[in-house]
Amino acid sequence: MLLEIENLRASIEGKEILKGINLNIPSGEVHAIMGPNGSGKSTLSSIIAGKDGYDISGSIRLDGQEILDWEPEIRSRAGIFLAFQYPVELPGVGLSSFLRACVNERRKYLGEPELDASAFLALMREKAAMVELSQELIRRPVNQGFSGGEKKRNEIFQMAMLEPRMAILDETDSGLDIDALRIVAEGVNKLRHAQRSMLVITHYQRLLEYIIPDRVHVLMDGAIVMSGDRTLALTLEEKGYDWIRAEQEVSS
């Protein structure tokens, strides 16, 4: 099992947001988490990546190792990648020098030699082409002056550069028009790999038409209330989240 989440609870300023999440993602699988606004989807992705400020209990294991007390950069170097829902801008920090430092940190961690400038540039060119990110954007500071769609493509580009084991895509589809969505999804599909798992967090079924998940989980009020194959996403699309609420009431 690549990622194991066990009875994960999280609260912020006394308010409980995650109320006991259990989730296992085997290597090579793509899982989707769907849920209405405020269900805790983004909190879950932030906590896996190591964001500060939550009171947490439970367990998150990567390859069987507990990671909850790891700093975010160690989690990253170990292979956890989060494509942010709202990528921040880094004024004045050039995208290529930023990524070069990031890639080499990961390589050092893995015991691989650092990439020299020309090897890095070649890699960057190749991966940028994959998500149709122009060379002009690569020369700019990270996300500065990028459109919403460009920022999202930049996240997938960085994912391609860092070659993570466990990629989390937090509402990568939000704010994208249909063409941008296609480009992003194609990029993600190219990165599917037997050694790489993905957790796709989304509000709508639309993205899952492009990125076909192995499993779909429904997150409501901080807990996973239903899991199934991809048809669950279609049912949700058709019947809405109220349907699940109704089901829940019946079963309780």
Partner 1 sequence: MAQSEQELLEQLSERAYPHGFESDIEQEIIPKGLSEETIRFISQRKNEPEWLLQWRLKAYKHWLGLKEPKWPKLTYPPIDYQDISYYAAPKSAPVLNSLDELDPEIKSTYDRLGIPLEEQMMLAGVAVDAVLDSVSVVTTFKEKLAEKGVIFCSISEAVHLYPELVRAYLGTVVPFTDNFFAALNSAVFTDGSFVFIPPGVHCPMELSTYFRINARGTGQFERTLIVASEDSYVSYLEGCTAPKRDENQLHAAVVELVAMDRGEIKYSTVQNWYPGDKDGKGGIYNFVTKRGLCKGVSSKISWTQVETGSAITWKYPSVVLQGDDSRGAFYSVAMTTHLQQADTGTKMIHIGKNTQSRIVSKGISAGRSQNSYRGLVKIRKSAFKARNYSQCDSLLMGNRCGAHTFPYFEIHQPTAIVEHEATTSKIAEDILFYCTQRGLSRESAIAMIVNGYAREVLDHLPMEFAVEARKLLAISLEGSVG
By CB under 8 A, name the binding residues for partner 1.
Answer: 49-53, 71-73, 75-77, 81-82, 84, 87-88, 90-94, 97-99, 101-103, 105-106, 109, 141, 158, 162
CB of 105 to partner 1, least distance (A): 4
Among 71, 1, 42, 75, which residue's Cα sits nearest to residue 169?
42
- Closest CB to partner 1 among residues 23, 47: 47
Among 121, 120, 103, which residue's Cα sits nearest to residue 112?
103
Among 163, 18, 60, which residue's Cα sits nearest to residue 102?
163
CA 193, 5, 207, 243 dihedral sign is positive
CB of 117 to partner 1, least distance (A): 14
- Closest CB to partner 1 among residues 92, 111: 92
- Closest CB to partner 1 among residues 82, 184: 82
As beta bridge partners, residue 170 has 201
Are the beta carbons of 192 and 198 closer than 8 angstroms?
Answer: yes
Chain Cα centroid distance, residue 65: 20
As beta bridge partners, residue 169 has 83, 200
CB of 168 to partner 1, least distance (A): 10
CB of 166 to partner 1, least distance (A): 12
- Closest CB to partner 1 among residues 28, 94: 94
d(CA 43, CA 51): 9
CB of 73 to partner 1, least distance (A): 4
Q: Where are the beta strands (DSSP E) in 63-173?
A: 65-66, 80-83, 166-170
- Closest CB to partner 1 among residues 70, 204: 70
- Closest CB to partner 1 among residues 136, 249: 136
Pairing of strands 30-34, 197-202: parallel
CB of 134 to partner 1, least distance (A): 21
CA 245, 249, 235, 4 dihedral sign is positive
- Closest CB to partner 1 among residues 52, 242: 52
Alpha-carbon dihedral 10, 13, 77, 128, rounded to 10 degrees: 100
Pairing of strands 55-62, 3-12: antiparallel
CB of 142 to partner 1, least distance (A): 8
